[in-house]
Chain A
Amino acid sequence: MMPTPTLLAGVPVEPGSHIVHHLHAATTHGGFDVAAQLHLLRGATPGPTLVVHAGMSGLEIEPALTLPRWLRSIDPRSLRGNLIVAPLFNLSGFEFERIEAAWDGADLNALGAGRVDGTVSEQLIHAYASTVLEQADAVIDLRTGAQWGYYRYAGVHDVGGSERIESSLALAASLGLPHAALGEPVGATLAGAMAARGITWVTAWLGGGPGLRDHREVDSQALEHLLDGALAHLGMSDGSPADPAPMLRIHTILRPEAQRGLTFMDTSLRGSQVSAGTELGVVRDPFEGHVVRSVLAKRDGTVLHAGASWPVVPEGSTLAILADPL
């Protein structure tokens, strides 16, 4: 555990209190503030620091319906350690309804740990990484399927050494989601950069817009359960962690390729074991209706995810994820 900080995100927070902090990082040429809004909760007794953020994509906004409510249920006087929560990190993406930050078109998930002298988004990520994430004993990065997919698993990046990976997997397995999976794509992600620095990090995929009508309360409760499980796992509360989820290793992520059209994935396959060649979905010609391509499992595996839920998928969307037992 890191030493209990006297400052949270660079500002003093009294033990047993909860404040909302405006983390200013940069100013655009038009004078707009580039910042993140953070809840800072300092427990009455020392303990680990957990950081939770959602909405790095400006379209993945559903957790913001739940996180403020969950935060109201947390009494910092009974908390051990510190809790830092950004319910909707990418405020400009949210404002203008886009994945990227509106100011510079940057994907906040793809800037590594940012740069102090970079674009305004790189400055934002740098400020966040250096003043918040580096304080963290554990980070939960909440992701959703936005308007296109519906997810339920906790992912871990396979970088940063065995001790970090094991602590991340243990946290992932405690969140009450159906699976914990090693092998989240690393690339130039913020998660990858912070994981490489040894920080325990779980990217928790939960819900998505297509479930809002039918599963809003279920997903909201699952998110609260997830967060309660994290606090319990880290010893920050007296609650009990969820029963450990089975652990998998991701081996295949299927995205749109070859022919495009209306894409229909078999969402009922999620959680099932399939063999190589199993049809996971089809792509249909949008004007004539015939199947132009089958989306096939390239090897045997457990279906960790079978979206997308909406038939017109953006380029680069995840259609399906397959994994093996870890």
Chain B
Amino acid sequence: MRIGPIEAAPGQHAFGYIPVAASRSGFAPDIPVHVFAGTQPGPTLLVQGAIHGAEIIGTVAILDLIAELDPSRLRGNVIAVPVVNRTGFEFGERGSRIDGKDMSRLFPGNPEGSVTEQVAHAYFDQVIQRADVMLDFHAGARTAYERYVLFGAEADPSNPSDMERIRRKLVVAFGLDQAAFFPPGTFGQNQAKAAIEDAGVVQLTLEFGGGTGWYANGRQNVDDARRGIWNTLKAMRMVDGDFASDGPTCTVYNANVVIWKPDVDGLFLRMKRFGDRLDAGDVYARLVDPVTGATRAEIRTPEAGIVIPSGQEWPTIGATSVGILGVIDRVENREEMDLHVDLVPKEVA
């Protein structure tokens, strides 16, 4: 398999960088890519981390996977990209400091655009389009903690498309006990996700870990992320083996309530834990004066729901969502499902 200048013969692992656009000073955030070419035909899995540069739990899991993956025992190909957004990674930031843009929103990119638009174009063209399935690792960076599989809302849940049927299985196969989808338009229009799906790539987003949990939970989150990648390889029939998971069920939430930070600011103090049930109007968090401790604002949920494992922990917050509530859409039972998916590979090793 050849990705840009990186070529792996069957049974081999190759590593290199995809050249991308340079900034005004010549700084070029070339993208590091590992290619594992299997010895038998099969689909291609792309695993990527740190497209938001500070969200690095998936990065560590991918590095661990790289040390374990034996291409001679692989059916199909694995493309592993531990850090997509090198400038964001360098500066511990979500987007790119070169032009302030968020690459994850820019696909399919623009070869004539800003540096990040050009990077997005090169990455989409040379990497993403080659995949059958894409695992995109996100996290809470240093300020929030997350733990669920995120996937796109289905147009007609009673009549899912072939891609949506495959995705449903992969969501459960990944092995977490919780998954969620957002109603369309929750965070604005995302043409990038549509571009990826239009390219025939089944996409899962993993919201996994975060800094405020790293001290106690970092290693466990990395191990669970790596377990999820292996589960996906098994589900895609690229390797053999049994699935491992948090437990027999995966609760799928319709994450229909996003709690936003109000205009008032202060030290953020979350009052609710994951799994708590809130009624409309209940207090989710408080903003307190850092000197007197007086409450400046109570952040209340506009609608009832259950706190899904996603939310701000650190006491200072930007203009962002601080919590997500959902209602249970369904509970999937792994023990009653065949988690394997059959894909028509784009690539032949």
Task: State the A residues within 8 Å of B (CB).
Answer: 20, 37, 39, 55, 61-62, 64-65, 67-69, 71-72, 87-88, 94, 97, 147-148, 150, 208-215, 262, 267, 284, 286-289, 309-312
Contact = CB atoms under 8 A, between A and B. Distances in A.
21 contacts: A20-B292, A37-B291, A61-B290, A61-B315, A64-B267, A64-B290, A68-B288, A68-B289, A69-B293, A209-B211, A209-B314, A210-B215, A213-B145, A262-B60, A262-B63, A284-B63, A286-B59, A286-B63, A309-B214, A309-B218, A310-B214
Return the 5 tightest CB-CB contacts between A and B, nearest first. A68-B293, A289-B63, A210-B215, A287-B32, A214-B216
A37 B294 CA distance: 14
Given A62-B315, A214-B217, A288-B15, A68 B211 contact: no
A150 B315 contact: no
B290 A286 contact: no
B153 interface: no
B59 A210 contact: no
A309 B215 contact: yes
Contacts of A150: 215
B89 interface: yes
Nearest to A267: B215
A280 to B, nearest CB: 16
Contact of B56 (A148, A289, A311): A311
Interface of B: 15, 32, 34, 54, 56, 59-60, 63-64, 66-67, 82-83, 89, 92, 142-143, 145, 211-218, 267, 269, 288-294, 313-316
B216 A211 contact: yes
A262 B142 contact: no
Contact of A61 (B63, B267, B293): B267
A61 B206 CA distance: 30
Contact of B142 (A65, A211, A267, A310): A310
Residue in A39, A71, A148, A209 whose Cβ sees the most chain B Cβ within 10 Å? A209
B interface, by DSSP: helix, strand, loop or mixed?
mixed
A262 B269 contact: no
A87 B291 contact: yes
A286 B315 CA distance: 29
Contacts of A211: 212, 215-216
Residue in B34, B63, B145 whose Cβ sees the most chain A Cβ within 10 Å? B63
A210 B315 contact: no
Contacts of B267: 61, 64-65
Given A210-B212, A211-B215, A311-B56, A64 B315 contact: yes
B213 A287 contact: no
A310 B211 contact: yes
A312 B92 CA distance: 8
A97 B66 CA distance: 36
A221 to B, nearest CB: 15
A20 B292 CA distance: 8
A20 B314 CA distance: 26
Nearest to A94: B290
Nearest to A147: B142
A68 B294 CA distance: 8
A94 B268 CA distance: 13
Given A68-B291, A68-B292, 19 more contacts: A20-B291, A61-B315, A61-B316, A64-B290, A64-B315, A68-B294, A87-B290, A147-B211, A208-B215, A211-B212, A212-B212, A213-B216, A286-B82, A286-B83, A288-B32, A289-B63, A310-B214, A311-B56, A311-B60
A39 B293 CA distance: 12
Nearest to A216: B313
Given A287-B82, A289-B66, A209 B293 contact: no
B119 to A, nearest CB: 16
Contacts of A37: 291
Contact of A289 (B54, B67, B288): B67
B141 to A, nearest CB: 9
Contacts of B15: 287-288
Contacts of B142: 147-148, 209, 310
A246 B143 CA distance: 34
A64 B316 CA distance: 11
A214 B289 contact: no
B315 A289 contact: no
Contacts of B213: 210, 213-214
Contacts of B212: 209-213
Contacts of B313: 209, 212-213
